[in-house]
Structure 1
C-alpha cells in the first residue's frame, strides 16, 4: 500500500508540474552569438510566439531549442526534429543588420525576414500537429485515476485510465480538414482518401499539396501571418478559427461578393460577376434525366443556386427570378472536338466546375438533348447555404481534377462539394457513382425534398421541373394529326421525313396547325444541326490527319475557341499564377480586363467558325439544312397570311 501511495504522489506531482509549465518555449542557443545577433534572433522568436494561438502555446508544453546552423542547403530556411529547430546561418547577417526585412525573395512570403518568421511558425505547427498532447483537464483526470487506483491497492495506472485521459490534438487527419484541403473520400473505398490533391490552382505554395501534414503547416503560416487569408480561403480560415477558438488580431476586411466567371454563351457581356451568398435563397439538386447517349445513360448531377433578383427580399418569390439563377456543373473539359469513351474511362479529361446561367442549361437539356430536368430543394440551414456557396467559389478557382465516367464523374464531384461545403455528417456515409442513385439517397435520407414534384402541373409552374421538349413536340404533332390527318404515329417518324416531304403540308395548315408546324420544324432544325455537328467532327478529325487544306480556316477558328475558352472553367489562368485563393480587389480589375478581352476574341472566332462550317458539310447535309430553313421561312409567310386574313393567332 505504501508503494501505491508513493506512486500516486509522484503522478500528482507530475500533473501539478505540467499544469504549471503548460506553455511552449522557444529557447535560443546563443552561446556563439554576438550581442546584436542574439538580440535580432530573440526578437524574431518573440514575434513568432506572439503570432501563435494561445491554445497551441498552452498545449505544446515543451522547451524547443532554436539554433543557427551551417549545415542547411542554400535554399532551405530551416528544419526541425524532436525539440530542436534549426535556422540557416547564412541568413543571420541579414536578420542582424535589418536588411532581411526589405530584401525581396521569390519565396511565397515576400521578404527574407517574413520567410524566417514563417519557417518558425511552420515547424511549430508540425510539432502541434504530430505530438500526442495533454491538456490540463487530462492531467486532472490522470490524477483522479491514480488516486482511485491507489485506494484500491493497485500499482500503476490502469489501461482504462490511460485510454480515457490520453488525447491527440491533430489537424492533418481530421476528416473535415481533409475535405477542405483537397483529399476527399474516394468513391466506394470505405472512407479511404484520394491519393493526390487536385486543388492545384491559385495555391500560395505548391509544397502544401505534398501531403496533409505539409498542408496544415503551410496554411497555418498564412492563417497566422497573412491578414488577407480570411478573404482568400474563407472556409479554411473558419476551420482554424473554430479549432483554436481564436483569430489573429490583424484580419483584413473582405470585399462583399465572391468573384466567379459565368461560362454562358453570351460573349457580349463580361463573364466576371460578384456572387453574393446573401441573395441565394435555396440550393437545389438539379438532375438531368438520362437519354440513349452512352455518356448520359445515368443522367447528370448539378446544383442550382436559387438567387434573388436585386431588391427582392429573400423568400419563395426568388424562385421566379430565373434569369438570375446559376448552375454549378462538374463537367469534363474537352480540349478537342473529339469525346472518347476510353479517355473518359482513363481520366484524360480535366474535371472542372462550370458556373452556368440556368436558362442556358434548360435549353441545352430540354431543347437540344430532349432531356427533362428535375430541380429538388436540398434541406439546408441558412449557414450551410452560405458555406456551400462560398466553398463553390473556392473550388471554381482552385480545382482542376481528372474526370472519370465511372469513378469521378458529376455525381461523385457533386457529393464531394456538398460534403466540404456543408459539413453535414449525414453526407459522410453516402456513396454513389450514379447521378440518379445519389438523388435517391438524398431523398431517402431526408436531405432533399422530392414532394415538390408530387403535383406535375405545379412543379412546372414553380420551376421544380422543366420538361423535355420531346413531350411538347409530340403534343404539337398530335395537333397536326388531328388537323391534317398525317399518317405518321409519332413525332419521331415525322422528323425522319425529309424537309421536302414535309413541305406540301404547310399550305394545308390552318392557324393552329401552322403554329404547331413551326415548333416541330424548329425541332427538325435543331436535330439536323446536331447531326451536322457530328458530321463536322468526324470530317474535321479525319481531315486534320490527312492535311485537308479546306479545313485550315475552320481549324484555326476551332483551335482558337478551344484555347480561349478554357479560362471559363479554370479562371486562375487569367492571373498568371499571382496570388492565391479567391481573387481580391487588387486582382479583380485585371480579371475584368483579361476576361473581357477573351470574350471579345471568342465572339470573333465563333463568327468565323459559323461562316466556315457550312462550307465543310457534305452536300446532302447542307442541302437538307437549307431545305429545313426554307420550310421555316415558308411557315412564317403562311402564318402571316393567315393572320392577316383571319385575325389573331392562337398558339396550340
Structure 2
C-alpha cells in the first residue's frame, strides 16, 4: 500500500526538504521513516539548531546525519557513532505528540536535550575536544588539580550534589554535553551555574545575558552557640577583603601544622566598603573545610584512608574565635590576601558552588584543609592558578602565598596593633595566665602556672575558693568555666569512642540509637543540599525559601532533643568522670555565691 500523501504545511515542508536539502549541517536518514516522521524530524531540527550559538553551528561536521533507532538500550537517550547521531525512536513519537502540549513540557524537553547533547559531542570532537580538554573548564567542572602534581588531576569528580544529571560526572566530555543542554535550553542556567555560563558564553562569543537571578550568593549560616540555622545571601560587593585565616598548631597529631581557613571581611549594612569594615566582626564569616564527623572521634588511620567527608562550612567569625582561642587555646592569624573586587566575587561564587555541591573525601596528607583551601583559590582566581602555591600544610601554604606577594604578613609585625586591628586573635591561655596571676597573688597559691592549676582535681581547687577576694573570685570564675568547657569536650569525645563503636554496651541501645539519629539529623549543616531534594546548582528564590524553612525546622528539632540527650548520656559516663563534671559545676556555684556575697557587702 503506497504511503499516505502528506497534506498542507507538512507537504510543503517535505518538498522543501526533498528539493532544497536542509539549510543546516544536519541531514536526516529517511530510511524506514514515513512522510510524517520526516516532517516531524525536520521540525525538531529546525527547532533545535537555531537555539545553538553560531560558533557552535559553524563548528559542526558537515556530514552529520540524524537517525532514529529501535535498538538502543533503554537507558540510552542518544549516541554519536561516526558521522551519525542516533536517537531512540520513542523520542520521535513523543515529539510527534507535541501539538497542544506546553512548550516546556517534560517530554519535549527530553527530546530537545537528547539532540543538543549529541550535537555538543559532535562539536567538541570536531574541534579536537576544545571544551572537554580545556584546563579552565575542568577546574570549574570539578576535575581538580592534584596537590602532588600540578600537571595531574583527580580522576573523580566530587561535585556530586545538586547536579542536573549524574551522568555529567562520568567524564569531562559528558560534563560538557550535559551542561550545554542546560546552557542552551534552561533560562536559569546562568543563575545556577554562573561561572560555567560565563565560560561557555565567552567561548561561543555570545553576550552574557541571564534571567534575573535571586540576589546574593546563598549559604547555610549555622550558629552553633544559639543552636540555629538560617540561609544567608552574601553580596560579594559587601565583602571588603579576604584574609587567609590560620589557626596555629598544637601538640595533637591532627592539628600540629595548624588549620587553613578564609575569612570574609563583610561590611555591616549601611557601611561603605573600606578599612572600617574590619571592625564589623559580627558580620564577618569564615570559609572552613572540615572533616565532618557525625558519629565517631577522628582517628589518624581513617584520616589517612579518606574515610571522612570533606565539606565547606560557612561559620560566624566569633564562633571560630571561640572554638580556637577559648576551647582549643590556639591563636588565630588573619593575613590579608591581595585580591581585587572581581577576584573576591569569583572566590565567593566558587565557595557557594562548593557549599551546595561538593562532597569530597578528607585525607590527612593529600586532601586536608590546606589542600582544599589551595584548590579553592586555584579554581576561583585564574591569576592564582598560574602560581606554584600547592602545599600540604597550612603553614606551608601561607609561606607560598607570602613569597608570591599574595599574603601580607607584615600586619603581624606589631603584635599590639595586630590584636587591636583584628589581624591576630590570641589564645585565651595568655589571658588565663594573667587571671591566674591575680588569684595566685591573692591566695598565695602554690601552683606555678594556670596549667598546673587546671590539672588539679575540681575538689582540690574547691578548698581555695571560699578564701578568694572579689578580684580573685572573678578570675577563678573565668578559669573554672574554662575547665568546664574543656571537660565537656573531653567527655563528648569519650562518649563517642566508648558508645558509638561496635562494642557499645547493649543496655543503653535505646539511648545510643537516639544519639545516632540526632547526629544524623545534624548532617544538613555540612551538606545543605539535603534541604533541597530537587534542582541543581545554586538555589534560586523559591528553593531558598524552602531551604530556609527546612533548616529552621531541623534546627528547632535538634534544640528540643539536645537537652534530653545530654542528660541521658551523661548517666552512662564512668562514675569518676561524671564526678569531675559535677564537682566543676559545684565549684561554679560556690564562686557565684561568693561573688554575690562580696558584692552585697561591698568587699574589694
TM-score relative to the length of structure 1: 0.84
In structure 1, the residue corresponding to 2:263 is in which secondary structure?
Answer: strand
Task: Name the CA distance, whole Å, in 1 between partners of 2:457 and 2:76.
Answer: 73
- Using the alignment, how far apart are the partners of 1:118 and 1:367 within structure 2? 54
Name the structure 2 match of 1:485: 444
Q: Are the counterparts in 2 of residues 202 and 580 from structure 1 also a CA contact under 8 Å?
A: yes
Counterparts of residues 415-430 of structure 1 (less than 5 Å): 415-426=374-385, 428-430=387-389
Distance 1:325 1:425, change over 3 A: closer
Equivalent residue, structure 2, for 1:593: 549
Superimposed CA distance per residue, residues 258-284 of structure 1 (whole angstroms, 9 cap, x where no aligned partner): 222123214554422222222222111
- Equivalences for 1:418-567 in 2 at 5 Å? 418-426=377-385, 428-541=387-500, 545-549=503-507, 551-567=508-524
Aligned-pair CA distance for 1:479 = 2.4
- Among 605, 625, 639, the alignment partner of 2:561 is 605
Q: Distance in 2 between matches of 1:71 and 1:541?
A: 52
- Relative to structure 1, is the Cα distance of residues 503 and 69 closer, same or farther in structure 2, using a 3 angstrom cutoff? closer
User: Of residues 227, 244, 266 in structure 2, which corresponds to 1:307?
Assistant: 266
Question: 1:216 and 1:327, CA in 2 relative to 1: closer, same or farther beyond 3 A?
Answer: same
Compared CA separation, residues 78 and 426, structure 1 to 2 (3 A): closer
Alignment partner of 1:273 out of 219, 232, 241: 232
In structure 2, the residue matched to 1:570 is: 527
Match of 1:211 in 2: 171
Provide closer, same or farther for how the CA distance between residues 91 and 523 of structure 1 changes in structure 2, counting only shifts above 3 A: closer
Say whether 1:65 aligns with 2:65.
Answer: yes
Corresponding residue for residue 594 of structure 2: 638
Greater Cα shift, 423-432 or 354-363: 423-432
User: How far apart in 2 are the matches of 1:94 and 1:102?
Assistant: 13
Secondary structure class of the residue paired with 2:475: helix
Q: Given the superposition, is the C-alpha separation of residues 100 and 301 from structure 1 closer, same or farther in structure 2, using an over 3 Å criterion?
A: farther
Structure 1 Cα separation of the partners of residues 471 and 45 of structure 2 = 84
What's the CA shift for 1:244? 1.7
Partner of residue 180, structure 2 = 220
- Change in CA separation of 1:434 and 1:79 when aligned onto 2, cut-off 3 Å: same
**In structure 1, what is the equivalent of residue 111 of structure 2?**
116
**Any idea what the Cα deviations from partners look like across 1:365-386, whole Å, max 9, x if unmatched?**
1111111111111111101111
8 Å contact from structure 1 (residues 283, 306) kept in 2: yes
Aligned to 1:187: 147
**In 2, distance between residues paired with 1:300 and 1:100?**
59
Measured in 1, the distance between the counterparts of 2:297 and 2:227 equals 27
In the superposition, relative to structure 1, how do residues 425 and 63 fare at CA in structure 2: closer, same or farther (>3 Å)? Answer: farther
CA distance in structure 2 between the aligned counterparts of 1:72 and 1:630, rounded to whole angstroms: 75
Contact 1:351 1:400 in 2 (8 A): yes
* Equivalent residue, structure 2, for 1:85: 85
Please list, as runs of the form range in 1=range in 2, the aligned pairs for 1:310-349 lying within 5 A after superposition.
310-349=269-308
Within the candidate set 324, 328, 331, 1:369 is matched to 328
Contact 1:574 1:594 in 2 (8 A): yes
- Structure 1 position 541, deviation (Å): 4.0
**Deviation readout 1:192-211 (Å, 9 max, x if unpaired):** 10011100101111110000
- Cα 1:67–1:622 change in 2 (3 A) is closer
* Matching residue of 2:583: 627
Aligned-partner SS, 1:192:
strand
Mapped to 1, the partners of 2:586 and 2:247 lie a distance apart of 33
Post-superposition shift, 1:546? 5.0
Cα contact 1:557–1:605 (8 A) shared by 2: no
Aligned residue for 1:313, secondary structure, equals coil
Q: Equivalent of 1:173, from 133, 138, 145? A: 133
Match of 1:330, SS state, is: strand
1:501-532 Cα deviation digits (max 9, x unpaired) = 22333333333322222222222222322332
Counterpart Cα distance in 2 of 1:373 and 1:320:
16
- Mapped contact 2:223–2:229 kept (Cα < 8 A): no
Give 1:110 deviation, angstroms.
Answer: 6.1
Q: Secondary structure at the match of 2:85?
A: strand
More displaced stretch, 397-406 vs 89-98:
89-98
Paired with 1:169 and 1:337, the residues of 2 have a C-alpha distance of: 45
Q: Does residue 1:584 correspond to 2:540, yes or no?
A: yes
Match 2:120 to one of 121, 125, 129? 125
Displacement, 1:607? 1.1
User: Aligned residue for 2:10?
Assistant: none
Contact 2:411/2:423, CA 8 A, preserved across alignment:
yes
Give the Cα–Cα distance (whole angstroms) in 2 for the partners of residues 575 and 591 of structure 1: 6
| Larger deviation, residues 59-68 vs 607-616 | 59-68
- Which sits farther off after the overlay, 506-515 or 298-307? 506-515
User: C-alpha distance in 1, partners of 2:89/2:178?
Assistant: 22
Residue 161 (structure 2) pairs with residue 201 (structure 1): yes
CA distance in 2, matches of 1:506, 1:91: 82
Distance in 1, Cα, partners of 2:339 & 2:150: 25
Preserved CA contact (<8 Å) 2:61 2:123:
no
Q: CA RMSD in A?
A: 2.3
TM-superposed CA distance for 1:483, in Å, is 3.1
**What is the CA deviation profile of residues 65-89 of structure 1, one whole-angstrom value per residue up to 9, with x for unaligned ones?**
2233344334433322333222323
Gaps of 5+ in 2: 1-22
State how many pairs are aligned. 582
1:411 & 1:240 partners in 2: Cα distance? 30
C-alpha deviation, 1:497, in angstroms: 1.5
2: distance between equivalents of 1:203 and 1:431? 28
Q: Secondary structure of 1:286's partner?
A: strand
1:95·1:101 contact (CA, 8 Å) conserved in 2? no
Alpha-carbon distance in structure 1 between the residues aligned to 2:393 and 2:270: 39
Higher mean C-alpha displacement, 497-506 vs 460-469: 497-506
* Alpha-carbon offset, residue 406 of structure 1: 1.1
Matched with 2:342 is: 383
SS at match of 1:306: strand
**Structure 2 SS opposite 1:463:** coil
Q: Report whether the alignment pairs 1:292 with 2:287.
A: no
